[in-house]
Amino acid sequence: MTANRQRIAVYPGTFDPITNGHVDLVDRAAPLFERLVIGVAESPGKGPALPLAQRVELARQAVARHPNVEVRGFDSLLAHFVSDVGAGVLLRGLRAVSDFEYEFQLASMNRHLIPDVETLFLTPAEQYGFISSSLVREVARLGGDVSGFVPPAVAAALQAEWQRTREAP
């Protein structure tokens, strides 16, 4: 792996929506790399609540304070996206032991698909360990306050989305 590839990391995910836990990982990782690319996966199979363009824009707003962080949407195999970016590191978050088995499988598959890319696991600060995008979506969908779990623009977008879907015939 070239030195340039080692200085570029990709943090992939659906980010539906980006949470304070995701932002915390970016805050921790941004100083470690010359460039950190947040790859927002289209993931139509997951049936995201928010469209890709909106998830990308919300992520950009959430991490705008980091000049070396960029946000890009993608709809390809992660291995292809990582190669296109020229990254040598995949960044993944681990909230709890329950995340490890799935993340270990992903890391092993990625090692086969892109053997010159290393996976780096980071853990969020303790106050974010319980936050997941799916829990945030469910709380928002049921009219709960998610402002403590997501950046302000995300809370507003979720509220608008669920208001829109409740009003739809």
* Bigger pLDDT: 48 vs 166: 48
The answer to whether 21 is annotated as binding is: no
The answer to whether 13 is annotated as binding is: no
pLDDT of amino acid 47? 86
Specify the pTM: 0.92
Please give the Cα distance from 139 to 1 (Å, whole number). Answer: 43
pLDDT of amino acid 36? 98
Please give the Cα distance from 157 to 115 (Å, whole number). Answer: 38
Angle between helix 133-141 and 152-167 (nearest 10): 50
Please give the Cα distance from 96 to 137 (Å, whole number). Answer: 20
Of the candidates 46, 124, 65, the residue with the CA atom closest to the CA atom of residue 91: 124
Please give the Cα distance from 50 to 42 (Å, whole number). Answer: 10
Please give the Cα distance from 30 to 67 (Å, whole number). Answer: 9
- Other beta carbons within 10 angstroms of residue 114's beta carbon come to 20
Please give the Cα distance from 9 to 89 (Å, whole number). Answer: 5
pLDDT of amino acid 13? 96
| Ordered domains of the chain (ranges, CATH) | 5-129 (3.40.50.620)
> What does the pLDDT look like over 83-136, one tens digit per residue?
999 999 999 999 877 788 889 999 999 999 999 999 999 999 999 988 999 999
Of the candidates 12, 11, 13, 9, the residue with the CA atom closest to the CA atom of residue 133: 13
Q: Known catalytic residues?
A: 22, 46, 95, 133
The answer to whether 93 is annotated as binding is: yes
The answer to whether 130 is annotated as binding is: yes
